[in-house]
Amino acid sequence: MTARPVDDAAPLGTEASAFFAHLEHVRHVSPSTLRAYRSDLDAFRAWLPAAGAMLDRLELRRYLAELQARGLRPATIQRKLAALRSFFRYLREQHGLDTDPARLVRGPRLPRRIPRFLSIEEVDRLLSLQFEATFQGLRDHAILELLYSTGCRVSEAAELPLERLDLQEGTVHLVGKGRVERMAILGPQAAAAVGDYLPLRHRLLASRRRPDPGKLFLNRSGTGLSSRWIFETVVRHARRAEIAIHLTPHGLRHSFATHLLDRGADLRTVQELLGHKRLVTTEIYTHVSMARLREVYDRAHPHGSHADG
């Protein structure tokens, strides 16, 4: 299969449906990623007639330049490029595409963003909040404890089956991106919070007279709690704890990783606990820890920038 003229919509037409099926059923991408890739490929397909030339690397670079000229953020352009790379890689591997126009194309450089995280004192303040001994109160406490104890993604918490928890052993099997499984640790405080919540969960299902959906976290109707609800739960209780930053579930994940490294955990262990495929993804937390070390150094060392002189 060779590169085709851009007025032939087949590369983004008939093969696109098979590509999205491949993403969903073989690569097991999340629904949000699937929606984004559909939108990105539709936008690229709409641009193609304006190109008026063979679809090659130069045309693809021109497309990215136009996106940049429109004022799109570098992260958005990189995501669109990732969708195109994934699509052309699929055509190359599954349909014998000879020329991959996206293979060597680079997107705009992304600024190195240091994750926002809580101090240990802030985490203690959040988890020490008073929670009512009600279904919602004990559930919310269990959510916060589990997110910080395991460092899991919000989607992993929302989809977590009850059967994958072992409170006695203090472990939980998480299913991450691409359906990759990993073991996470449920510390004593988190295990206790989940243990307090479970009887009320069982009681709710009995009162609603409905079958158990299997997920750990339920809403008051007895169905699985959404990622959005967990997100809002974290934001709401962070406000109660007067946390200065806008805390999200991912902020607790960042805090989990940072605190482990600060206390001597090696990078490979943190990579495994976070479920990162590549070590370079985890390395961002070494920059966070170094920034904290430098802050302490500057404050405490006689020749530090904030030392009394």
Amino acid at 262: D
Domain end among 95, 128, 145: 95
Residue 193 has pLDDT above 80, yes or no: yes
pTM exceeding the 0.85 threshold for the entire prediction:
no
* Inside any domain, residue 305: no
Could you tell me if 52 and 166 lie in one domain? Answer: no
CATH classification of the domain holding 189: 1.10.443.10
Structure tokens, 48 = 């193609």
Least confident range from 25-29, 69-73, 217-221, 238-242: namely 25-29
Report pLDDT digits (tens) over 34-45: 899 999 998 888
Residues 249 and 151 in one domain: yes
**What's the domain count of the chain?**
2
Q: Check 80, 139, 141, 153 and give the catalytic one.
A: 153
- The whole-number pLDDT of residue 11 equals 47
Q: Tens digits of per-residue pLDDT, 111-135?
A: 666 668 899 999 999 999 999 999 9
Neighbour count for residue 74 (Cβ, 10 Å)? 14
Verify whether residue 303 is a known catalytic residue.
Answer: no
Q: Is residue 4 part of a domain?
A: no
Segment 91-108, tens digit of pLDDT: 888 887 777 888 778 887
DSSP line for 64-77: HHHHHHTT--HHHH
Any catalytic annotation for residue 285? yes
Q: Among 38, 62, 92, 177, which one carries the catalytic annotation?
A: 177
283 and 241 co-located in one domain: yes
239 and 277 fall within a common domain:
yes
Mean pLDDT throughout 135-162?
Answer: 96
What's the angle, vertex CA 116, arms to CA 138 and CA 118, rounded to 5?
A: 45
Residue 1 forms part of a structural domain: no
Give yes or no: residues 26 and 138 share one domain.
no
Q: What is the average pLDDT across 46-51?
A: 71
Is residue 8 over pLDDT 90?
A: no
Is residue 135 domain-shared with residue 202, that is, in the same domain?
A: yes
Task: Indicate if 153 belongs to the active site.
Answer: yes
Query: How far is Cα 259 from Cα 247, in angstroms, rounded to an integer?
Result: 16
Task: Confirm whether 90 is a catalytic residue.
Answer: no
Q: Is 3 inside any structural domain?
A: no
* 104 is a domain residue: no
Question: Is 215 an annotated catalytic residue?
Answer: no
Note the pLDDT of residue 194: 97
Please tell me whether residues 19 and 64 are part of one structural domain: yes
Residues 177 and 30: their CA atoms lie apart, in Å, by 8
* Same domain? 138 vs 256: yes
Could you list the residue range(s) of the whole structural domain that residue 31 is in? 10-95
Question: What sign for the dihedral angle of Cα 29, 30, 34, 39?
Answer: negative
Q: Is 80 a catalytic residue?
A: no
Residue 171 host element (H or E):
strand 171-175
pLDDT beyond 50 at 245: yes
**Assigned domain for 145 exists:** yes
